[in-house]
Each structure stands twice: as C-alpha cells, then as structure tokens.
Amino acid sequence: MRESSFGERKNSIFDRLFFLLRSRVIVSRLKKVRDPKTILDLGCGYNAYFLSNITALLPSIQEAVGMDMSVNERLGSKKITLVPGNLNKKLPFPDQKFDVVFSTAVLEHLNDWHHALAEMHRVLKKGGYLFLTTPAPSAKPVLEFLAYTLKLIDEKEIRDHKKYFSRKELKKLFSDLGYARIRVAPFQFGLNTIAVCKK
C-alpha cells in the first residue's frame, strides 16, 4: 500500500513529466463537457496540481473537491476543498453530487477497484462524465525497467501497482456499472489508457 500521495515527497522529473502528459490528454477531451459546476478529483495528489489547473481553465466551476490519502489542506481556496481519505472505502459525498469526476493514474493502486469504480459512478450526476487514466498491460515492463533498473521514476510507486487493466476489461467494468456512453482509448504510444464515460 502506498505511504504517501503523489507530490508529498519529491518526485523525479520523469514522474512530473508523465503527470503533465496525462493532464494534457484529459484537458483536450474535457472540452466536450459543457460548463461543469461541480468537479471531483480522486487521487488528486498532495498539492492538487491538476485540480488547480482545471479550476483556472474552466470559469464555470463553482465547487472543486480533491481527495487523496494525504492532502495539503492549506491549499484550499474559495472554490477548492481538499479532503484526506481512502479511495478503497465509501466516498464521503452524497449521490449524484458532481458533474465531472477525475481519476488519473489511481485505479492501478487500489485494492478494491470494483468498489472504487462503483463509488465514482454513485457520486456522479446523471449526464455527468468520468475521466479516468490507468497504465495499460504493455506499460508494466517499461515502467519496471524505468523504476527498477534505470531508477528514473519512483520505484515504490511502481511496486504498488496492483493490476494493469486492458481496454476490454475497462469497457466491461464501465458497461456493468451502466454508463450510457463509454470511450476507452490508448495514449502515450499505447502505454496508457484513457476512459471517458458519460452516465
């Protein structure tokens, strides 16, 4: 189990680069969502960089919530609330609260991904969107080589990966939850997967 949130300790330049590339992919697809007012970033990282960027990009946002195992609660603002919590447990939010839920590079770290995905679906409004990224199975040897042999990315982070999800597995998981529209696509040379699901 991970001991800290992303960004709580020093991250390598490669860890930060991978984070930036994932963020750019999500932002490019987020344009399809019209004026979201409430957003939730699950696994937001200690300093909630992505949440801060999204809130600055989208003036329609009235409430942004970030949740991770540890968060820098001093970074909260009028629009942003950071909440410490365990994503393997029930989320402390009511049903259908958020227009958009984000979860980037988190699913592979969870012990009970079925429960976590069901919780994401529960707190998402009807017609809302889930944006989720996770490394593909083909990324496993690459990430392990970068972490264990070259020491370019955080070894503890990679050792904490519980599962690598195929696109077919992800589509089935989202279909079983009842999403109305599901798009699952590779990015970063097929090493990562992005899912955009409409409830």
Across residues 83-111, what is the average pLDDT?
96
pLDDT of res. 73: 80
Q: How far is Cα 86 from Cα 183, in angstroms, rounded to an integer?
A: 27
Q: How far is Cα 193 from Cα 29, in angstroms, rounded to an integer?
A: 13
- 59 vs 2, residue with greater confidence: 59
Q: Copy the structure tokens of residue 30.
A: 């987020």
pLDDT of res. 19: 74
Residue found by looking up tokens 């991904």 in the block: 113
Q: Indicate the pLDDT class of residue 121, thresholds 50, 70 and 90.
A: very high
Q: Indicate the pLDDT class of residue 7, thresholds 50, 70 and 90.
A: low
pLDDT of res. 20: 77
pLDDT reading at 15 higher than 70:
no
Q: What is the CATH number of domain 13-30+41-86+93-198?
A: 3.40.50.150
Across residues 71-89, what is the average pLDDT?
89
Q: Is 137 exposed, middle or buried (0-12, 13-18, 19+ CB in 10 A)?
A: middle
pLDDT of res. 3: 62
Where exactly are the structural domains of the chain? 13-30+41-86+93-198
- Over the chain, what is the mean pLDDT? 91
Across residues 132-152, what is the average pLDDT?
96
pLDDT reading at 159 higher than 90:
yes
For 99-112, b/e burial (b = at least 16 CB within 10 A) is bbbbbbbbbbbbee
pLDDT reading at 2 higher than 70:
no
